[in-house]
Amino acid sequence: MSLHVLLVEDDRALRQTLRDALAVEGFEVHSAASLADAQAQAQHAAPDIVLLDLGLPDGDGASLLATLRQRLATPVLIISARETDAGKIALLDAGADDYLVKPFSIGELLARMRVALRHRGTRLAPAITRWQQDALVVDLAAHRVTLADAPVHLTPTEFKLLARLVRSAGQVVTHRQLLTDVWGPDCTEHTHYLRLYMGQLRAKLELDAAAPQRLLTEPGVGYRLAEGSA
Amino acid sequence: MPDNAAATTTARIAWPPPLAEPASALRWLLGALAWAACWAAMLALDGHVDLANQALLLLLGGAVAALWLPASAALLLGLLSVAGFNWMFVPPRGNFSVDSAQNALLLGSLLSVNSVVALLMVRLRAQAGVARHHQQQAEQLRALGELLRDASAPLAHAGALQQALAALVGAPVALLLRREGRGPLSPDTVLALGATNADEAAGLWHALRQGQAMGPGTGHHDTMACWYLPLRGGAATAPGGASEQSQRAEGCVGAALLRLPAAGRDDAPQRAHAQALCDQLGQALQRVFAAQAERDALAQAQGQAVRNALLAAISHDYRTPLASMLGAASSLAEQGERLDAAQRQRLALGIVAEVQHLSRLTDNTLQLARLDAPGVALRLDWESAEEIIGTVLNRARRRAPERKLRARLEPGLPLLRCDALLLTQLLDNLIDNALNHTAPEVPVELLVRRDGQHIVLAVRDRGPGVPPAARERIFEVFQRGADLSHGGVPAASTVAAALPQAGITRPQRGAGVGLAVCRAIARAHGGELRFRARGHGGSSFECLLPLVDAPSGAPPAEEEAR
C-alpha cells in the first residue's frame, strides 16, 4: 500500500509540481490550499506524512500542527520561505519534524521525507538506540561510543547531548529543544552552553572540527546529526 | 561651546533687570549723612559767616542728599531743614518768627530752590534708571541672540529663554516648542518645559496653533492674569496668498506662558521685551527647521535617484538568468521529443543552476532592503566561529566540489555575538565572489583570528585582485561604471567588470548586491567589511566584528567523566 501525503500549499503551481513529483515516487497525494481544507483532509484521509506551508491564506500552519499532534504522531515537514524563520522555529519547537526552505529541490524534499517517515512512531517508543556512520558507533542502550573500535570518552553532558541528537538523527533539533532536554527548561536561553559542548563533541567525534560531517549546524535554528549509515 | 561658558552666558541673560531703583538702607544712610554733614558745617560756621552763606550750605546739603533719598523723603527733609534753619539761625533765634521781610524772602526761596533741586535730582536718577534698564534689556537680548546664533540645536537653549522670562516677570514660566518644523502638532512632536495646569496647557496649545499673543494689552483675552506669547520664526515658509492668520500660524514654532504679578499687568514695554526674547528663540528654531527641511529634500531627491538606479540594475541582473531559463524551458517544452536524453538533462540542469543563482540574488536583494530599513532587528545569539565556518565550508564544497577550499581558525577563539543566518550569508557571498573571480586551480582560504577588540573573518585568494580604482566601488550596489567595464560590453556588475577575467572558465557572474549586502551585514553588527590587497597578489576580504564579552554564566560543573 502506498503512503498518503497531505500537501498543504497555497501556491497552485508549486502544489501541482510537488504533487506530480511525489506521485512519480509512488506516494498517494492529497493536496489542500487552505488551512480549513487541510483540517478536513487530515481528519478524513489520515495521512502518513504532512508537508505544511506556513503562510496560508486563512491562518497559520501552527493550528494544524496542534490538531495533528492531539491525535497522531504523523510526521510534519515545514516548507517555508526564508523570511519566516521565527515561525519555522516555533513550529519545530511545537513538534514539527523538520523544515525545508523554499526554493528546494525534489531530491532534498524526498530525503527529508524519508528521514521523517523513518522516525514515525518514535514518539511512542524509543526506537533508535543505535546510530552508526562509518567508523563512529553510538549505542545508547549500552551507553557506549566507539570511534574505529576505540571507546570515546564523553562526559555525562556530552553524552546526553549526543543521545538527544541520535534520537532525532537526520532531523533538525532546535536550540531550545536541546537546551530543555539536556540542561532543563530553565536554560533555554543559554545558547553558549550548546556552543561549548558541541565544540567539545566535534573535537572528539569529527575528523576535522572545522568541516564537520556528522554534527551539522543549521544556522539560527539548531543542530542536525547526519543520517546514520546502518 | 564649553559648558561653563554656556553657564556664564545663561547667568548673564537671567540676571534680573531692576525695574525700579531699590531703596536700600545704604541710600537712606548716605542721605542722612549728607544732611548731618550739612548741619555740622552750618553749626560750626555759625557766627563766622553770614546767614546767606549758611543758606547756601543748606542748599548744597539738600542737593547732595537728593542723590540718594527718595523724592518724598528729600522734600520732607528739605522742609524740615528749612524750618530748623529758621529756628536755629534766622533772627530772632529760638523761634519760628522772622524779623525782616528780607529774611522771609530768603526762607521762601530757600524752600522752593531746595524742593526744585531735590525733584530735579530724583528725576535725573529715574531717567538714569530707565536708561540702565533699557541697556540691560538690550544686553539680555544680545546675549540670548549670541547664544542662539550658531546653536545647531536651539531647543537645548530653551532653558535660557525660560530663565530670562521668569526673571523678567518674577514667576515661573512655561514653554511649548515644536521639535520639528513640519508635520502635525501632537504631544509627541513638541517639547514642553515648565509645569502647567490643564487650562494653561490648553492656552499654550492655542497660542502655538494660532501664532497669537493673548493676555493683558494684547487685544485678546485682556482679562487674563498671564501672557501667552508666540515664538515667531518669521513667515518665510508661508506660501503666497495664504491668509494673514494662516501665515501667522505657519511661522509660529512655540509659545510661552508668563504668569504676571498683580501689579504691572499691562506693562507694554515689558511685554514687548518678552516678545522680543521669545522671537529670538523662534527665529533660531525656524532657521534650524528650514535647514533641516532643505537637507531632507536633498536626501529624498538623492534617495530617489539611488532607488531608480538600483531598480534598473536589479532588473538587468535578473534578466540574464531569466533569459537562459526561458530558453532552456521553452526548448524542453517545444522540442522535448526531438532532443536526446543527455540534451534534455543538460537543459534541465541549466535551469536548476540559474534558479539557484536567482534565488541567491533574491536573498541578497531582500536582505539589503531589510538591513537598509531603519531599526533593523538582528537575531543576535552566541555563535561559535567554528560552527559558522563549518556550515559555510560544507555548503561551498557542495556548490563547487572541484575547488580547493581551506579554513584556518586560530585556537581558543571566543564566541561571536551575531546573527548566524546573516553571518553565514556574508561568508557565502564572499566565498562565491572569490570562487567566481579566480581561476579554478586557485585555492580559496577562510581565516578567522582575533585582532585586539575584533574578530576578523577573512576570505582570501591568490587571484588577480581588484584594481585600486575599484576597491571602494565594488561595495556599492549594482555599481556599473563605464570606466570599469571593458571592451564597451556592459558588465553584469562592477565586480565582474572590475576584476580581470584572465583564466576564468566558468561564466562570469557579477556579485550584484553581494558585496553591498556583506558590508551592510558587517555594519549592522557594529563591524566593518574591507578589502585588502595581499602582499604577493590576490585579495583578502576581511569582516571585522567587535568582540563582545561572553556571558559569565558557565555551564553547571559536571561530575567526573565516566
pLDDT digits (tens, 9 = 90+) for B106-141: 888 888 998 998 889 888 988 988 898 888 888 888
Determine, yes or no, domain membership for B551.
no
Cell readout for A223 is 543542530
Residue A190 has pLDDT above 60, yes or no: yes
Contact B551 A190 (CB under 8 A): yes
Contact B556 A155 (CB under 8 A): no
Contact A192 B415 (CB under 8 A): yes
Q: Mark which of B87, B122, B148 sits at the end of a domain.
A: B148
Does B176 share its domain with B284? yes
Does B348 share its domain with B477? no
Q: Is the pTM of this model over 0.90?
A: no
Nearest-angstrom CA–CA distance, B170 and B172? 7
Q: Which residues of B touch A198 (CB under 8 A)?
A: 384, 387
Q: Which residues contact B469 (CB under 8 A, 6 or more apart)?
A: B483, B484
Candidates B138, B200, B175; CA nearest to B252 is B175
Nearest-angstrom CA–CA distance, A205 and A198? 10
Q: Mark which of B124, B148, B172 sits at the end of a domain.
A: B148
Nearest-angstrom CA–CA distance, B95 and B86? 8
- Residue B254 DSSP label: E
Determine, yes or no, domain membership for B559.
no
Q: Which residues of B touch A199 (CB under 8 A)?
A: 384, 386-387
Phi, psi of A26 (to 5 degrees): 95, 10
Minimal C-alpha gap between A32 and chain B (Å): 26
Q: Mark which of B334, B350, B370 sits at the end of a domain.
A: B370
Lowest mean pLDDT among B148-157, B312-321, B471-480, B492-501: B492-501
Decide the pairing of beta strands B444-451 and B405-409. parallel
Contact (CB, 8 A) for B161 and B285: no
Interface test with A, best of B365, B386, B406 (most A CBs within 10 A): B386
User: Alpha-carbon torsion B159, B161, B165, B167, what sign?
Assistant: positive
Minimal C-alpha gap between B557 and chain A (Å): 10
Smallest Cβ distance to B390: which of A103, A197, A211? Answer: A211
Q: Please provide the average confidence, as pLDDT, over all residues in chain A.
A: 87
Contact A195 B384 (CB under 8 A): yes
Determine, yes or no, domain membership for B172.
yes
Contact A195 B556 (CB under 8 A): no
| HSE-up of residue B273 (Cα within 13 Å, Cβ side) | 24
Does B465 share its domain with B535? yes
Determine, yes or no, domain membership for B390.
yes
Chain A residues with at least one Cβ partner in B under 8 Å: 82-83, 85, 103, 105, 153-157, 175, 183, 190-193, 195-199, 202, 209-212, 216-220
Q: In the block, which residue shows the cell 503562510?
A: A55
ipTM of the complex: 0.85
Contact (CB, 8 A) for B513 and B361: yes
For B461-514, how does the pLDDT look when each residue is reduced to its tens digit (9 = 90+)? 998 888 888 888 888 776 543 333 333 333 333 333 333 333 333 344 454 678
Q: Which residues contact B5 (CB under 8 A, 6 or more apart)?
A: none
Does B490 share its domain with B389? yes
**CATH assignment of the domain containing B412:** 3.30.565.10
Determine, yes or no, domain membership for B555.
no
**CATH assignment of the domain containing B212:** 3.30.450.40
**CATH assignment of the domain containing B324:** 1.10.287.130
Determine, yes or no, domain membership for B562.
no
Cell readout for B225 is 492674569
Q: Which residues contact B232 (CB under 8 A, 6 or more apart)?
A: B211, B248, B251, B252, B253, B278, B279, B282, B283
Does B402 share its domain with B522? yes
What domains does chain A contain, in order, with CATH numbers? 4-118 (3.40.50.2300), 130-225 (1.10.10.10)
Contact (CB, 8 A) for B252 and B190: no
pLDDT at B4: 44
Does B536 share its domain with B468? yes
How many separate domains does chain B show?
4
Q: Please provide the average confidence, as pLDDT, over all residues in chain B.
A: 81
Residue B541: pLDDT band (50, 70, 90) is very high
Contact A211 B379 (CB under 8 A): no
Does B383 share its domain with B527? yes
Determine, yes or no, domain membership for B428.
yes
Is residue B540 helix, strand or coil? strand
Smallest Cβ distance to B559: which of A156, A202, A220? Answer: A156
Smallest Cβ distance to B421: which of A85, A154, A211? Answer: A85
B538 against B2, higher pLDDT: B538
Does B394 share its domain with B527? yes
Does B165 share its domain with B202? yes
Contact (CB, 8 A) for A195 and B381: no
Does B69 share its domain with B197? no
Minimal C-alpha gap between A88 and chain B (Å): 14
Q: What's the first-to-final CA gap in chain B, in angstroms?
A: 68
Nearest-angstrom CA–CA distance, B302 and A18? 45
For A120-150, how does the pLDDT look when each residue is reduced to its tens digit (9 = 90+)? 754 444 566 888 888 899 998 889 999 988 9
Contact B415 A155 (CB under 8 A): no
Residue B98 has pLDDT above 50, yes or no: yes
Cell readout for B98 is 522772622
**B68: containing domain:** 3-148
Decide the pairing of beta strands B173-178 and B190-193. antiparallel
Contact B382 A197 (CB under 8 A): no
Residue B27 has pLDDT above 80, yes or no: yes
Q: Which residues of A touch B366 (CB under 8 A)?
A: 82-83
Specify the DSSP element, H or E, that contains B316. Answer: helix B268-335
Does B386 share its domain with B528? yes
Q: Which residues of B touch A212 (CB under 8 A)?
A: 390, 394
Decide the pairing of beta strands A28-32 and A4-8. parallel
Q: What percent of chain B has pLDDT over 90?
A: 19
User: Alpha-carbon torsion A48, A53, A54, A59, what sign?
Assistant: negative
pLDDT (mean) for B438-460: 93
Does B385 share its domain with B534? yes
